[in-house]
Structure 1
Amino acid sequence: MNPVRPEFVPDPSLSREQMEALQHDIAEAAVFADDLDFDPTDVRIGRHAGQQTLTDDESPVIVGVDQAFLDDRAVSAIVALRDGEVIEEVTAVEPVEIPYIPGLLSFREGNAILAAFERLSVTPDLAVVDGSGRIHFREAGLATHIGVTLDLPAVGVAKNLLCGTPARSIPDRMLEGERIVIEADSEVTAPDGTVVGYAFQSRQYDSGSTSINPLYVSPGHRISAETAVDVVERCCGGYKLPEPTRLADRLADEAKAELA
């Protein structure tokens, strides 16, 4: 799978000001509404795996995208699933040319991800990316940058809240399945109050004082915030992370170990 918008391919040689300007352009090109070639309720991963209502050819292909790092290299891993079954795994290794800078993650990791997509033989219907989408200062997190560049529906799933404000206080212990809207605030270019994503409790311990923190789900491209969290919920199967990114995380670690 190759870039549809090559002008948005991450260029780590740009200045910070140029990177931020490019992100504004990416956000303008992004579609934060449903423009999918499949019915989201047909996603059958995690708890919904095994619900056979479609033929294999009709079932959507969901890919998980995650990264690992070894010295000055980024190891990108993509795992493709259909009906909860792994149908392809690919990895790619690219040099890391800039340090981690909050809000500019895609310029550090994006080229390794795009290199992995080039190796993918199946055509994905949706990418679930370990990183933010619209929950981003300029509405152009890693999932948005990759999604717009490939013109691929994408969802960002982050472990921490980069920016934005919860519509109500996030409790110390959210209930499994609970959702709390994340709204744009003064740090985000979207108008104040815009729904940019959700805090989503994918899994929680049944009892006890120990609590699992929520995930922060946001649309990357060609999907709404509401549908993004619906799909992520359908992808979770007893673990905190959705199955596509959980498997991609494991594959990235395996590839990193082989390199080491």
Structure 2
Amino acid sequence: MPPTRPDLAPDSSLEREEMEAMQREIGDAAVFDDEFAFDPSTLGDPLATAAGGAEPPIVVGVDQSFLRDEDGEFDRALSAVVAMRGGEVIERVHAVTPLEIPYIPGLLAFREGGPILEALEVLSVDPDLALFDGSGRIHFRQAGIATHVGVVRDLPSIGVAKSLLCGTPRESTENLPAGTRVPIEADSSVDAPDGDLIGYAVQTRQYESPDRYINPLYVSPGHRVGPETAADVALALASSYKLPEPVRLADNYAETAKQEIGD
């Protein structure tokens, strides 16, 4: 399936001001409400979907790794996509493109979006939902990598980040019980009205010991998904590990593909 908005595809040749202007356009084009054709409550229970006579949705996890040149410098980005249906892996693909700009907070898609779009292009199945290792609406211009790629492909998407890029939690996020979610509000660092709900800190797993704890994930809508559903999906798909299973498997596959290439 070709991109719906190729005019908004990440372009690393743009000046920083042009990149930020494009992100504002993407944020305006994004839909931060549920707009997809399956019941997200069945994602954590594939048998419920089968019992209803419907085919389970295809959910993909997306993660990135990096390759070094002969001098030991990172020169290529590798994007791994793992497609799952009913809890089973049905396809794995990856793509590699040159790294053309350094890491700049808030401009991740312009550094790593190219291989993601290429990998999605070679995927033989059409995903119903994508989970990204990165931010969605929890972003300075409401256009993290999950939003950027989601809008370009018009693909329902969710950002699952390990750290908080911007915004303010409404309460403490330390040592939360498993299953807890804490709203993340827009503040002066976000191009949105102060107090707008832009995502959740989601505690998918937690130690039982009081001496150590697992940090939450920062889950936000990318495109065509609302914040509550994004949090629901992250919890439903993180059955045994902190990360939702599609993202965890994409992370593992990124490392496997990297080793096969010979980094």
Which of the five TM-score ranges fits, normalised by the shorter chain?
over 0.9
Counterparts of 2:80 and 2:96, CA distance in 1: 9
Write out aligned runs for 1:20-169 (5 A). 20-44=20-44, 48-51=45-48, 52-55=50-53, 58-71=55-68, 72-169=75-172
Contact 1:125 1:152 (8 Å CA) reproduced = yes
Identify the range of structure 1 (200-209 vs 3-12) with the bigger mean alpha-carbon deviation: 200-209
1:92-130 Cα deviation digits (max 9, x unpaired): 111110000000000000000000001101110000000
1:178-218 Cα deviation digits (max 9, x unpaired): 11000000000110000000000010112241111100000
Contact 2:46 2:56 (8 Å CA) reproduced = no
Give yes or no for the alignment of 1:12 onto 2:12.
Answer: yes
- Residue 72 of structure 2 corresponds to none
Match of 2:197 among 192, 195, 198: 195
Counterparts of 1:76 and 1:174, CA distance in 2: 32
Match of 2:243 among 235, 241, 244: 241
Counterparts of 1:110 and 1:120, CA distance in 2: 16
Contact 1:105 1:142 (8 Å CA) reproduced = yes
SS at match of 2:51: coil
Identify the range of structure 1 (205-214 vs 18-27) with the bigger mean alpha-carbon deviation: 205-214
Instruction: Give the root-mean-square deviation of aligned CA atoms.
Output: 1.1
- Residue 229 of structure 1 corresponds to 231
TM-fit CA distance, 1:232: 1.0
Which amino acid is the alignment partner of residue 233 of structure 2? V
Point out where structure 1 has 5 or more consecutive residues left out of the alignment.
Answer: none
User: What is the aligned residue count?
Assistant: 255
| Deviating 4+ runs (over 6 angstroms) | none
Counterparts of 1:233 and 1:200, CA distance in 2: 7
Q: 1:15 to 1:89 in 2, by over 3 A?
A: same
State the identity %.
60
Counterparts of 1:257 and 1:50, CA distance in 2: 35
Point out where structure 2 has 5 or more consecutive residues left out of the alignment.
Answer: 69-74
Contact 1:2 1:117 (8 Å CA) reproduced = no
SS at match of 1:68: strand
Counterparts of 2:182 and 2:167, CA distance in 1: 12
Counterparts of 2:84 and 2:216, CA distance in 1: 24
Which amino acid is the alignment partner of residue 62 of structure 2? V
